[in-house]
């Protein structure tokens, strides 16, 4: 029995797609949040490094965007913002809605996910929980760093490069991304 070419092609595609669909089975479930992760107004300790890195990224991005719009270059040719401008930019950064961030679970470990956070090894499919307490927690974290370091010190670190801004906010011996703090998190 000979089939016309269009029918043969149609059956061939179905056979190929059927085989691929039989072998690939993806499933994902939302992270199971404990009471602290659900109800606390503060960022849980095991997510503070990710939160700090997200804040540093957002501050750096918004300051760089403001500098690109600035028309007054300094001696090195870089755009430098006035104190009132960078203070406003940092305040607006902390006041943003933070809706693009959320928590997901990879290998039984919960992590923040969003712009500026490295993806690392992840499953092919995952579920991210956004909204709820996460935007408010990130905003509080951002304002905490403004209060702790001040706008001048944050802007100066930004001017030295993104790595310096992240090191100022997140590094140090007691920063949320210090090796000692991360080692304690791994033990949990």
Look at residue 29 and tell me whether its pLDDT is greater than 90: no
Which pLDDT belongs to residue 172?
Answer: 80
Look at residue 12 and tell me whether its pLDDT is greater than 70: no
The model's pTM: 0.76
Q: Between these two residues, 32 and 77, which has the higher pLDDT value?
A: 32
Which pLDDT belongs to residue 132?
Answer: 80
Which pLDDT belongs to residue 24?
Answer: 64
- Residue 45 has a CB neighbour count (10 Å cut-off) of 13
Q: Between these two residues, 142 and 5, which has the higher pLDDT value?
A: 142
Please compute the mean of the pLDDT values over residues 22-31 and round it to a whole number: 61
Look at residue 11 and tell me whether its pLDDT is greater than 50: no
- pLDDT tens-digit map of 47-67: 999 999 999 999 999 999 999
Q: Kindly indicate the confidence band of residue 104, based on its pLDDT and cuts at 50, 70 and 90.
A: confident
Look at residue 20 and tell me whether its pLDDT is greater than 70: no
By mean pLDDT, which of 88-97, 141-150, 166-175, 177-186 is the weakest? 177-186
Which pLDDT belongs to residue 6?
Answer: 45
Look at residue 99 and tell me whether its pLDDT is greater than 80: yes
């Amino acid at each position: 029995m000979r089939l016309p070419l269009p029918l043969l092609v149609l059956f061939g595609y179905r056979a190929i797609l059927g085989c691929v669909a039989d072998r690939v089975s993806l499933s994902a479930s939302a992270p199971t949040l404990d009471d602290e992760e659900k109800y606390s107004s503060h960022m849980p300790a095991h997510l503070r490094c990710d939160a700090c890195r997200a804040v540093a990224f957002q501050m750096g991005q918004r300051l760089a965007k403001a500098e690109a719009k600035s028309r007054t270059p300094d001696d090195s040719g870089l755009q430098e913002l006035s104190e009132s401008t960078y203070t406003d930019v940092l305040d607006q950064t902390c006041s943003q809605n933070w809706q693009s961030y959320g928590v997901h679970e990879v290998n039984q470990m919960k992590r923040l996910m969003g712009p500026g956070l490295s993806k690392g090894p992840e499953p092919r499919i995952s579920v991210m929980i956004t909204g709820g307490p996460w935007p408010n927690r990130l905003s509080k974290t951002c304002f905490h760093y403004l209060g702790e370091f001040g706008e001048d010190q944050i802007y100066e670190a930004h001017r030295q490069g993104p790595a310096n801004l992240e090191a100022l906010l997140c590094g140090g011996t007691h920063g949320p991304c210090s090796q000692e703090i991360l080692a304690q998190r791994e033990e949990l």
